[in-house]
Amino acid sequence: MRFAVFGAGSWGTTFAKVLADAGTDVVLWSRRREVAEAIEQRRENPDYLPGVPLPVNLTSTSDPRVALDGATDVVLAVPSQSLRHNLTAWRGLIDPSSTLISLAKGVELGTLKRMSEVVVEVMGVPEHQVAVVSGPNLAKEIAAEQPTASVIACTDHDRAVAVQKACTTGYFRPYTNTDVVGCELGGACKNVIALSCGMAAGLGFGDNTLATLITRGLAETARLGATLGADPMTFAGLAGLGDLVATCSSPLSRNRSFGERLGRGETVARAQAAAHGQVAEGVKSCSSIRELAMRHGVEMPITEVVHRVCHDGFDPREMAGELIGRKTKPER
């Protein structure tokens, strides 16, 4: 097997390293030529993973043709809202029989499609040819080879097993799952819930508030998943609760850190500037997830509040009162 990984950010580079450490030959495509050259010459990605040595069987290029030459599997590690644009540009270069693996976690604005649905639509391939990777995958910890587990989800179990074997290492343990819908929704929604947890931390709230947001965030994610046909047990696993806890709790989480700045009173623009121009995925996905929930009549109050803070100027200080003051009801 030979993998092409598109996207040399922290997670794309880390997953490429995992594949290479597992003995798989990998070519990592970078949008910026200087990053690809640094990886080739210095054996590290100085912009995203400085000081992390990269294996010799991991090469890099900024030419998509070179990256795809002989590739049996293609990993898509670009931001969710740019996936369609990028994949459209690469479509004619990708072997139509390749397994396509999405690392992106989001719901597309406008179409409200999950990332695997975007891949199927753009590439014109059957859904069983697309896999997704999800779970508690904080890139810097995995790059440091700290033990973690993840999920390879694909409706074709055998294809999921093949990807699983290609990325199993002494520090990275992937499980398989056929519930692509649940794994993708868990990965997308946790970014929104992490924003709310960051806001709560920025406001000075403690662990009770954090636990409440995580638990009720999981509940609203599971409600949406059940409506869209996901297996409820998925949300109790690595792609659900596991990813949610890691993203909501860790200072390494971009969404958690972004939300904390909002909770301290910064605007979205100021928080973005502090993050070197990068916007946390949840800032955009909260709008598409909210709209998806409204379309299907699913109540998602935390997602609603996060959307209002990020896009309607709602004051995070009013967040607790908005959520606590809702009509009381049984826990479900």
Tokens representing residue 24 in the block: 């798989």
198's CB contacts (< 8 A; 6+ apart) are 253, 255, 256, 257, 258, 259, 260, 261, 262, 263
Tokens representing residue 159 in the block: 């294809």
Residue 245 CB-half CA count within 13 A: 9
Would you tell me how many other CB atoms lie within 10 Å of the CB of residue 211?
13
199, 252 Cβ separation under 8 angstroms: no
190 is catalytic: yes
Give the integer Cα–Cα distance in Å for 154 and 131.
5
Q: Which of 17, 105, 113, 190 is catalytic?
A: 190
Using CA atoms, how far residue 189 sits from 76, 92, 255, in Å, is 19, 32, 11
User: What residues act catalytically?
Assistant: 190
